[in-house]
Structure 1
């Protein structure tokens, strides 16, 4: 479904709109292991011949965990930042009624930003980080392990769509049934996803986005022809990249792209996301 709604790379609007004082845990720094890439049969055989134990390597990742009051179990959300990393504001984020984990894929790797070039290797690494976050949350007693969604922004949104994709091979060393309940993607390049998704997705993008063009998502929607899990694409007329970030209220050029806050699109996108998540978590 494609919808054209009327009129940083981060999460500022969503933070402000859904924040609440009813949280007892706000922005606690937590650490967990990124999901390791699966070691194939060939690598295992070669290791055995060398008398070694073949084991996938993992990395320690940081995130900021928040939860509502009470024992739960609560639905949960994993947030994936854009190419410029996790903002300070996002670290103290509280989601109304949800456990939230703001994942930081760059801190422990010493990456300041990754905006000049998006490599398949980095996207793959960030998928492993998100799956590690999913595993971490699933083991918390106050989290409903069957109701965990992923929300990504820009580069993080591309990762979210890849996580929702029908992977043709077992890439990560995780249980086959470990997947997110749903995915929300703010202004991604949709072409990185498979044409068939395995979980429902909501995609929101600006009509005038010159960094991750809306036309890329519209072409992808036509190619997928409603196969797999349902997808809703919303294109906001007159909106640019980072339309939900007040930091770009006056508009700004960054790396040759125009970033501009659109309060109308931002507010509508939050409502769309809230409705989407409520629907997905209800069953």
Structure 2
């Protein structure tokens, strides 16, 4: 009961310390298609010109335009600063995810960076995208991320060349997609990506040409997203630095401070050591703009 009360207070303080905004969604790019979701190609694309494209998670609804909810920390930024776009996982902005994004924002703010937490699901009335839909929604949400990037730059909140994308789970898959050459038709681009426990499926990593630095963080006990696929991704020769940092004994839930539990058959448990190291690595990269290649065990 005490923990629940404290959590409610935390979430209320989170909402009070952030500025909630609505971001116009943009999807009319050459790499996207006007075709609706079809059972004949259930998750074959995900690149859509429609805000809602008729996927099962959207209850088959199609909608051309839309807006996304977002939370900006700190809310009183007066001059452009480095910014990190933070993306939730396949279960949306759940209570635990809100707590995690608040923590990420707090750590970044102390170090002089802003944070924008983007909600891809609420205004689409999507509950979750876990399972086979993961890559489909990773692709769908890439345009969400770029819509937020354009917003930050247009509002002069962020330095145009210092906006980073950081996602957890499906949000991390989105971060990887956002750094591919397929997204080059966007006018603005992310400085680098921090992908936390992404799905590095072969259909993504075998053909991907990345356009900027990427750091992947995985637990070697992740049973939701196979670490070996991310290992293959990081080991492939590329023109930009791609690094995988693997934490021994860590599960898919290593960055989220919550009691150990199972979710959809996956075991999730918090690793404060791995989580702290991950945030320190990100902050160092933002400050120094230095990125490594290859695989590192920690």
Answer yes or no: is the 8 Å Cα contact 2:18–2:75 preserved in 1. Answer: no
Structure 2 alignment gaps of length 5 or more: 1-9, 35-48, 51-63, 292-298
Taking the TM superposition and a 5 Å limit, the aligned residue runs for 1:52-71 are 57-67=64-74, 71=78
Counterpart-to-counterpart distance in 1, 2:158 and 2:241 = 25
Partner of 2:192: 182
| Paired residues, number | 241
Counterpart-to-counterpart distance in 2, 1:99 and 1:74 = 7
Deviations 1:52-106 (A, max 9, x none): xxx9743211100122766322111111100111234357544321121100000
Partner of 1:79: 86
Q: Which has the higher contact order (CA 8 A, sep 6+)?
A: 1
Q: 1:205 to 1:40 in 2, by over 3 A?
A: closer
* TM-score of the two chains, using structure 1 as the length reference: 0.76
Bigger shift: residues 152-161 or 239-248: 239-248
Is 1:206 matched up with 2:219?
yes
* TM-score of the two chains, using structure 2 as the length reference: 0.72
Among 196, 211, 231, the alignment partner of 2:209 is 196
Among 265, 283, 286, the alignment partner of 1:256 is 265
Partner of 1:238: 249
Q: 1:39 to 1:272 in 2, by over 3 A?
A: closer
Is 1:36 matched up with 2:27?
yes
Taking the TM superposition and a 5 Å limit, the aligned residue runs for 1:80-229 are 80-86=87-93, 87-89=97-99, 93-94=105-106, 95-96=108-109, 97-167=112-182, 174-175=186-187, 178-191=188-201, 192-193=204-205, 194-222=207-235, 224-225=236-237, 227-229=238-240
CA RMSD of aligned residues (A): 2.9
Partner of 1:269: 278
Counterpart-to-counterpart distance in 1, 2:266 and 2:216 = 20
Answer yes or no: is the 8 Å Cα contact 1:202–1:276 preserved in 2. Answer: no
Query: Tell me, what secondary structure is at the counterpart of 2:194?
Result: strand
Structure 1 alignment gaps of length 5 or more: 1-15, 44-54
Among 258, 262, 276, the alignment partner of 1:247 is 258
Counterpart-to-counterpart distance in 1, 2:244 and 2:25 = 30
